[in-house]
Structure 1
């Protein structure tokens, strides 16, 4: 007999059979292996997503839900370009109806044959204007011969250079041209109006047998730029900008801490030079959340401006939800009572605009609102000019505005 055990005939040459499980498998797999019950039964496939290995509706639904979430995540990653485009659209310097039109175009929500057929209709997809190509949103706005002619008249003879030839790619490329300083300002600002005119002309040719002049639309663009910045939702301002001549700007802020305490509200009204015309402070009773407190502050500020005889006004706030709620009231049904009162007050002015601003440009009004709870100043007041105790800060911000 040999002194040691003889090597098995079928021993693996490349594996050391003396290794322990911990040397071969990860620790979590080791625990699973050690808990296996070895028996004289054949292996078979089991359902891996339930504790007992049997399929159940609950476990199947769980797997399907996770798979759907994974697909949704992949889709969202693929749609980053669309999200970037939609964010850019809301900051385009044009009137609200054109921003809304561009958003609907990016969302595929324009009534062209290709999109209508996806809703169950059976329409001829041939373009009705050029009789060449499928009538898609991309074709109508960029590829149709009529559209190409209008882009050429606007000074865009070849279009932007882009590797992404999808609708999103084209729209993004044209929006990026609006920030190219080598192009004339009038040409850059005309881009949204060209899109709008192409769409309007297409509809008028098909349904009213008429069309608009691109030149007249460009003239209207310049007029709207000068005289109608008062309607709609403006983009967020990183620095405080004064209003146009003849318009006043009212920055509001409500200092809300919790539902058990009062809220401090304040507003500051500036003219087109950035000078403070009036400021006021108020203490509001308990509000369940900050948005309710801000809406009450906005209602109070609008009523005050109405009493002061203000005409064209811009209301600015650093709470984005407040601006969204006022502009899209149907999406905020919980606050419909307050929003209804705000809407009625807005009808008292010839024009009202709402502007979302960052926190830094409205430091004065924030300090006044904070003084209610911080210093126990619960009495309300309305005075001309700015508060004396914030004179230095008002002076600094006025210098930044004029610079």
Structure 2
């Protein structure tokens, strides 16, 4: 469930009461399975509601509820992407790699890593990534097209879809994977 879906669950939208909105989101959080996007988005939605409350009180302005939801989803997604890059760097460091190239199809993630001063909201995560980058002789962050990682994406989807959390690739992998790899190799020759 996305934050937009949460918003539309309510027939009248969010209440004017901060406490009621907070309670509603906490109730939804209690009902949501831990891996859903609700769990990932609610903290950002709460933060956006709080900032909007302050804008109403101190600046006599406010964002529309749909804009609040949109900002919360964007911030949750970017925060997740930055966190994943940090996790990837820790893993690669622990494997004692010296030269690292990390690619993402999420343009804002690469922009934030490349120009951290333009993204002050994510300062903590970006500083962690910068500190981790110093562990390597060379680190390059690159933007990739979604299609570039289509095989990796399909492997991840198949693992989640069929619950094969052990490395089934070590056992030779599924037939569709072999076919895709052969096709891609033929295209690149």
Give the TM bin, normalised by the shorter chain: 0.5 to 0.7
1:375 equivalent in alignment to 2:161: yes
Alignment match, 1:341: 128
Equivalent residues in 2 for 1:154-193 (5 A)? none
Q: Greater helix share, 1 or 2?
A: 2
Alignment match, 2:119: 332
Alignment match, 1:258: 37
User: Over aligned residues, Cα RMSD in angstroms?
Assistant: 3.4
Alignment match, 2:78: 291
Query: Paired residue for 1:388, among 160, 164, 173?
Result: 173
Compute the displacement of 1:298 (Å).
1.0
Distance 2:153 2:113 in 1: 21
What SS class does the counterpart of residue 299 from structure 1 fall into? helix
Residues 386 and 394, structure 1, Cα contact 8 Å, conserved in 2: no
What SS class does the counterpart of residue 103 from structure 2 fall into? strand
What SS class does the counterpart of residue 348 from structure 1 fall into? coil
Compute the displacement of 1:385 (Å).
7.2
Residues 318 and 358, structure 1, Cα contact 8 Å, conserved in 2: yes
Residues 376 and 343 (structure 1), Cα distance of their counterparts in 2 relative to 1, 3 Å cut = farther
Which of structures 1 and 2 has the larger relative contact order (alpha carbons within 8 angstroms, sep 6+)?
A: 2
Distance 1:387 1:289 in 2: 36
Compute the displacement of 1:365 (Å).
2.1
Compute the displacement of 1:367 (Å).
2.0
* Structure 1 length-normalised TM: 0.26
What SS class does the counterpart of residue 388 from structure 1 fall into? coil
Distance 1:296 1:396 in 2: 33
Alignment match, 2:92: 305
Residues 312 and 375 (structure 1), Cα distance of their counterparts in 2 relative to 1, 3 Å cut = same
Distance 1:400 1:299 in 2: 33
1:354 equivalent in alignment to 2:133: no
Equivalent residues in 2 for 1:3-402 (5 A)? 258-260=37-39, 289-371=76-158, 374-375=160-161, 377=163, 379=165, 388-389=173-174, 390-401=177-188
Distance 1:312 1:259 in 2: 36
* Structure 2 length-normalised TM: 0.53
Residues 311 and 367 (structure 1), Cα distance of their counterparts in 2 relative to 1, 3 Å cut = same
Q: Which runs of 4+ in 1 moved over 6 A?
A: 381-387
Compute the displacement of 1:339 (Å).
1.1
Residues 40 and 76, structure 2, Cα contact 8 Å, conserved in 1: no
Distance 2:172 2:119 in 1: 35
Aligned length: 121
Distance 1:322 1:397 in 2: 27
Compute the displacement of 1:319 (Å).
0.6
